Amino acid sequence: MVGPGRGSAAGSLVSYVLRVTDIDPLKHDLLFERFLNPERVSMPDIDLDFADDRRDEVIKYVVKKYGEDRVAQIVTFGTMAARNAVRDCGRAMGLAYSFVDRIAKMIPATMHLEEAQEKVPELREECQKDAQVKKLIDLAKKLEGVARHASTHAAGVVIADKPLTNYLPLQKAIKGEISLLTQYSMYELEKLGLLKMDFLGLANLTIIQNALKIIEKTQNQKLDLDKIPIDDLLTFSLLSRGETTGIFQLESEGMKRYLKELKPTNFEDIISMVALYRPGPMDSIPDFIEGKHGRKEITYLDSKLEPILEKTYGVIVT
């Protein structure tokens, strides 16, 4: 089972015509400019979703088709965050774990050491009164952001037209269907002009696949996913109750809470909620819900925006 397509690629009519995606972008008013926009920093890519119990077969096929020497997994580098840098330095300095741990916990998880030293009074005070703490922090600053370890990208695979040794250094992969691992991360691969493909294994697709098999076996009914209506009232009733465990992108506790408040009645409501449920746009969810239920006057920055934003109750959804 393969996903129908998501992300910016779902806006591409060419992808739809070639059956790379199964979503008609014209029917759903999807924007092609999200996929291929001159202002994009990087070239667009297409995430390919496969049932997670058969993803390995797809990888084997790719290796067989293009050649073992032209396909590799992609390395990722874990870098030292502020707290880790402090703990590693403390260990190397032979300081007591409890002492180093107390200093590390003074640093907020989202802050760099330089910023923490300025904004956290306890840490600043410790640095001023204890020379050992100051030395620890100064050493940790030099290590912060440095690559700590290498691991493998969860989904990324690079495919080349010639043996990969023509383009970049490689190493043996520790596990998986692919024997090679790049020594450059995906950002350097992109600069070299190499093609990164994302082969994602989704448990949700496996669940759907198994459900279809069970229905066919127990009910003697072969369901076609493409023919299931997207205006089914019982489905919207289930979503409105927040009973969405196991439903891709709708199963977090926050999303369940918003669905109960929204009480979706059409497919566009679901599309909008998924688009809004991310840092930044999330602040507009209450306006979206209030607009849907008529509890808030719908306004537009300009009257020309009305045909575009009418379905989303005046809220800009991207």
pTM: 0.73
pLDDT at 29 exceeding the cut of 90: no
CATH class of 81-145: mainly alpha
The answer to whether the beta carbons of residues 265 and 236 sit under 8 Å apart is: yes
Q: In which residue are the tokens 């910016």 written? A: 8
pLDDT surpasses 90 at 191: no
Q: How many CB atoms lie within 10 A of CB 115?
A: 13
Per-residue pLDDT tens digits for 52-110: 999 989 999 999 999 999 999 999 988 889 999 999 999 999 999 999 999 999 999 88
pLDDT of residue 67: 93
d(CA 40, CA 190): 14
Structure confidence by residue, pLDDT tens digits, 95-146: 999 999 999 999 998 889 998 988 899 999 999 999 999 999 999 999 998 9
Residues linked to residue 75 through DSSP beta bridges, in sequence order: 152
- pLDDT of the residue at 30: 85
Q: For residue 153, what pLDDT band results from cuts at 50, 70 and 90? A: confident
Q: Which residue has the tokens 């402090």?
A: 86
User: What are the structural domain ranges in the chain?
Assistant: 81-145, 229-309
Q: Kindly tell me if the per-residue pLDDT of 161 is higher than 90.
A: yes
